[in-house]
Structure 1
C-alpha cells in the first residue's frame, strides 16, 4: 500500500467503535494519515514494527497488554511519539502522568469514560496534539530521569549545584544589574504545556525547601488532572507542592499549581497576597488556566520582583503576559532551550518578544531561578 508524504498515524484502542471514531477525525486531513489500527498493546507493538508510524494514539485501559505497559516496551524497542487517551478518573489522571514519565508526548482526557460517544468534544485537541507529536524528537522522549519517591516524610536535602549546572546567559539582560535587588520580595512564576509534567519534575525537585519565594505554576491540563500532578510533585520535592485553592495565602517555599478549568490570579489582602481562582473568565487562546492571565494578574502586584519561567509547550501562551510583566516591574525571564523542549513553541514565542534574559536547558532551570533569589 502506498502512502502520501503525510505523517503516518497508528490508532490503538480495544474498542472498534473508538478506533473508527478517532480514525474518522483524520479523514481528508492535510498533514496526517491513518495507516492502521491496533486493538491492544501487543497488536500495537507488531503494527509499529511493520507500519513504522510517525505518531501513535493509544488508550490506557486495554486487555492483554495495557497502554502503560505497551508504552514502556515501545520506547525500548521502537520509540515513537505517543499521545495517550485516558479517562478522567483519579486513576486515569495518575496513569496519564505515569505515561508521560515513561515517554508519552502528551495525553487527552476522554470526555465520558472508556467508550466516549461524545469523543467529538476533544476532536480539535486530539488532532492538534497529533500534528505536533508527529514531529517530536524521540531522543527527547527517551531521555527521562527516574526519581525515587521518598518512603518517609520529606526532609530537606541540600543538593549542591555543579559547575556544569551553571546556566548560560544567551541574551543581554534588559535590566541593569543594580536594578535587581536580591533583598526585595520575590515570586517565581512558571508556565508550561506539552511535556510540562516531566519538565516540572526536573525543575521543582531541584529547588531547596529554604527558597525565599512562593512559586505559581500554570500547566495546561484539564480539571481533575492537576491535583494528581501537584500531589506527585509534592512527593518528589523538597518544597511543598499543592493544587492552588481559592483564598490560599502565599507562603515562601510553597508551589501552587493552578487547577484545570480555572485561571490563577493574585490579589493583595492587607499585608498578605491571596490566590484567586476564576473559572468564569473565558479560556485564553484555548487555555484555562492560562499563563498569560497569571502573568498579567501578577504584573499588577508591585511588591514583588518576579522570576518568570516559560518551558516546553505548544503555542505561544505566556509571551503576551511576559511583555506586561516586563513593562510593570523588575522581572528576570528564563526560557527553556530548544535542545530540551519536547515542543519548542511557548519558549520560542517568549524569546521572540526580546524580553527573555536567559535560555537554559531544563536540567539547569532550577539553578537559574535560584541565582536571582536571596
Structure 2
C-alpha cells in the first residue's frame, strides 16, 4: 500500500502543525513538505510535481495567496488536486467559490475554536476529503466514486410535445466538483427558460450564498440563494441554503413555495437532494427534469426513485469522463431511470431541449 504524498501550504504555524499531525496519524498519507505562503508552495510543487498527490491550501497568505497560486497553476498547466482549507467568513467564502472555479478539487472549513480544530470530527473530515481526492478509499466506497469504462452516451430522444400551460420544474443535485460544473452549465441557460430551477449543492451555510452571488454575476438567468416561503418562479434559479433542508410545498392559492427547515442531516447531508425530490411528490408539477451531476455517494437516487412513482420525470446524468467524482451520477444510472447520460458540456443543452423557453 503506497502512501500518498501531501503538500501543506499555510502561513499559520499552528495550522501547519495540526494538519501535519492529522496526516501523520493515517498510514495512507505522509507529509511531503510544508510551505508558509503560496510562492514557496508553488516552488515546492514545481520541484515535486510528479510526487505530490494532493495539496492542502490556505487562502489568505502573504507574498502569494491561495487564489494567486491556483491562477498560476492554471497558467502552468499543473494538474494537482487541491483542497482549500478555508475560514467561514463572508470574504473567505467568496474566495473559496473562486478557488473552486479555478480548479480546486474541494474545500474544508477551518474550525473557529482550537478545541474543534483538534477534534476527531475535523480530523475525519480532512482525511475523508484527502481519501476522495487521492482515490485512496475502501473498496465499498471506491466502487461508488471512481470512473468505470465509458459507455456510449444514453439518450432517449423521443418526447411528446409539451402542452402550453404545463407546470415544469428543473432540479439539480451535485456535490464534489459541483460548483465548477454549475459554472459550466448555468451561464448557458437563458433567462426565458420555461421552468424554475432548484439546486441542492452539498455546502455549509454561508458558502451557498457566495456561490449564488458568483453565479448570478455570470449568468443570464437570475441565480439566488433560496429563501424560506418564497414562490418559485420560472426563469429563476434557487440554490438550497447550506445548513437547511429544502422542500417544495403548495400554498392555498396553488403557488409552489420553498420551505427551509433547520433539522438533523439525512445521511450526513444538510441540504440533502433526496429530501427535495421526495417533497415534489405532493406538488402540482406536470413535468420535472432531474439532473444529477458529479459527487460522491448516492444522494438523489432514492428521492428520484420515489418521485418516479408519482410524477412524469426526465432524468439527465453527467457521464463518468467529465465527473470529478463519479458517484451520484453512477448510482442514479443504476436505478434504470436515466433518460440521458451526457458530458458536462452538453447538460445545459439537454435541459433546454427538454424544458423549452417561453
Q: Structure 2 length as normaliser, TM-score?
A: 0.88
- 3-state DSSP of counterpart to 2:248: strand
Stretches (4+) displaced over 6 A: none
User: Cα 1:134–1:169, aligned 2, differ >3 Å: closer, same or farther?
Assistant: closer
- The residue number in structure 2 matching 1:295 is 277
User: Is 1:363 matched with 2:348?
Assistant: no
The alpha carbon displacement at 1:357 in A equals 0.9
The alpha carbon displacement at 1:342 in A equals 1.2
- The residue number in structure 1 matching 2:32 is 35
The alpha carbon displacement at 1:255 in A equals 0.7
Asked if 1 retains the 8 angstrom alpha-carbon contact of 2:256 and 2:283, the reply is no
User: Cα 1:186–1:81, aligned 2, differ >3 Å: closer, same or farther?
Assistant: same
Deviations, residues 127-150 of structure 1 (Å, cap 9, x unaligned): 2111111249xxxxxxxxxxxxxx
Deviations, residues 72-99 of structure 1 (Å, cap 9, x unaligned): 2233333210001111111101100111
Asked if 2 retains the 8 angstrom alpha-carbon contact of 1:313 and 1:342, the reply is yes
Stretches of structure 1 that go unaligned for 5 or more consecutive residues are: 137-167
- The residue number in structure 2 matching 1:57 is 56
1:4-153 to 2 correspondences below 5 Å: 5-51=2-48, 52-77=51-76, 78-112=78-112, 116-119=114-117, 120=119, 121-135=121-135
User: Cα 1:247–1:208, aligned 2, differ >3 Å: closer, same or farther?
Assistant: same
User: Is 1:272 matched with 2:272?
Assistant: no
- The residue number in structure 2 matching 1:147 is none
The alpha carbon displacement at 1:49 in A equals 2.7
Q: What is the rounded CA distance, in whole Å, between the counterparts of 1:243 and 1:181 in structure 2?
A: 29
- 3-state DSSP of counterpart to 2:260: strand
User: Is 1:263 matched with 2:245?
Assistant: yes
- 3-state DSSP of counterpart to 1:65: coil
The alpha carbon displacement at 1:368 in A equals 0.5
Asked if 1 retains the 8 angstrom alpha-carbon contact of 2:169 and 2:285, the reply is no
User: Is 1:349 matched with 2:347?
Assistant: no
Asked if 1 retains the 8 angstrom alpha-carbon contact of 2:167 and 2:284, the reply is no
Q: What is the rounded CA distance, in whole Å, between the counterparts of 2:234 and 2:159 in structure 1?
A: 24
Deviations, residues 41-68 of structure 1 (Å, cap 9, x unaligned): 1221222233321101011111221111
Q: What is the rounded CA distance, in whole Å, between the counterparts of 2:15 and 2:64 in structure 1?
A: 17
User: Cα 1:16–1:186, aligned 2, differ >3 Å: closer, same or farther?
Assistant: same
Q: What is the rounded CA distance, in whole Å, between the counterparts of 1:172 and 1:233 in structure 2?
A: 30
1:283 pairs with 255, 265, 272, which one?
265
Q: What is the rounded CA distance, in whole Å, between the counterparts of 1:81 and 1:61 in structure 2?
A: 19
Deviations, residues 261-314 of structure 1 (Å, cap 9, x unaligned): 00110110021011100112x112211001111111113324331000010111
User: Cα 1:250–1:30, aligned 2, differ >3 Å: closer, same or farther?
Assistant: same
The alpha carbon displacement at 1:201 in A equals 1.5
Q: How many residues align?
A: 334
- The residue number in structure 2 matching 1:170 is 154
Question: Which shows bigger deviation, 90-99 or 126-135?
Answer: 126-135
